[in-house]
Amino acid sequence: MSTRRKALTGNGRSDWYTRMNETSSVSDGALTLRFWGVRGSTPVSGPDFVEFGGNTPCLEIRCGNRLFVIDAGSGIGPFGRSNAETLPQEIDLLFSHLHLDHTAGLPFFKPAVFDANRTIHTYCGNLDGACASEALGRLFSPPLFPVELSVLPCCLEHHGFKAGEPLSFVDGVRVDTILLNHPQGSVGYRFEHGGKRLCVISDIEHSDPWPDAALLEFVRDADLVVYDGMFTEGEYCRCQGWGHSTWQKGVELAQAANAKALAIIHLHPAHTDAQLRQVEAEMQAVMPASFIARERQTVDVGAVMTSARPQLALALTA
């Protein structure tokens, strides 16, 4: 039986909000998410990418104080440095998949990788049960990379699973998974904590018909769905088969699933801050409780939601 609960205000009105860019003290019941990289395919930098950020995917998820990291894009470097004093000795790193934009930051996950007393557990679910060891070994070896991962002082333990299987951890925490439509596959994750539900669905290309029935069930009643909105609809017709989706498909999925809020990630490396603000305004006209994720933005999942309107987001990202 689900223990999920609704946040009701005093007058009984169901009212949800996303608290932006606050590093709240994480109570045991809190489910929080912080975006350390939201850019897809390749990192970008420059004056056009200041607001939304240029690092490739890395998400910090806290179920109470329990940490999960999704993906090791270039955002994992600043994540590690910002949490240097508080990283646990055992770190669970869940890969959506192993494409470069989700793995290339791994050796730069400092100080964790330089700590001989630390274990980083990686989880890979898109290779039919195989773990990430062999693929990462090919990526991080000469001449593509100067050293092999084995020279790092930390202990790396690679775990393989089949997307669709739940992940059960020694502390009793369970994370559900689903296989997503993407070249070589990708894994979506569902976290439930304190009566709140967070689904991270990237990288994915939507199917026809849409929403996919299994995915719809997977994200049903989520407090927040994080979704791959790399392309505009205008771009998508030229990029079919590349493995990514649009914010419109994210809204269709979220609304059909009765999700409370939607965040868009895997932003196109050519999309500037000005373009993304415009896209966000269009999306919020259709679904007010939606936003395009900004690097370093923190979301208190399932807390009271007013809206994620641009002026609010801008005020809080200053």
**Residues near Zn ion (CB under 5 A):** 40, 99, 101, 203
Shortest reach from residue 244's CB to Zn ion, in Å: 8
CB of 53 to Zn ion, least distance (A): 15
What's at 26, amino acid-wise?
A: V
Pick between residue 101 and residue 280 the one whose CB is nearest to Zn ion. Answer: 101
Q: Which helix (H) or strand (E) holds 254?
A: helix 247-256
Residue 101 Cβ vs Zn ion, minimum distance, rounded to whole Å: 4
- Cβ(31)–Cβ(302) below 8 Å: yes
30 or 292: CB nearest Zn ion? 292
The Cβ of residue 69 has, within 10 Å, a number of other Cβ atoms equal to 25
**Nearest position to Zn ion, beta carbon:** 99
204 DSSP 8-state letter: -
**β-strand partners of 121:** 92, 157
For strands 167-168 and 186-193, give the pairing. Answer: unpaired
Q: Give the nearest distance from C-beta 97 to Zn ion in angstroms.
A: 5
What is the distance between the alpha carbons of residues 15 and 38, in angstroms, rounded to a whole number? 27
- Cβ nearer to Zn ion, comparing 99 with 249: 99
Residue 177 is inside which H or E element, if any? strand 174-180
Q: Which is nearer to Zn ion, 99 or 206 (CB)?
A: 99
- Token reading at 56: 């490739």
Which is nearer to Zn ion, 40 or 77 (by Cβ)? 40
Q: Which CB sits closer to Zn ion, 92 or 205? A: 205
CA–CA dist 223, 63 (Å, integer) = 14
**Residue 19 and residue 163: Cα distance in Å, rounded?**
31
Minimum distance, C-beta of residue 13 to Zn ion, in the bound complex (Å): 38
> Max alpha carbon distance in the chain (Å)?
64
Name the minimum Å distance from CB 33 to Zn ion: 18
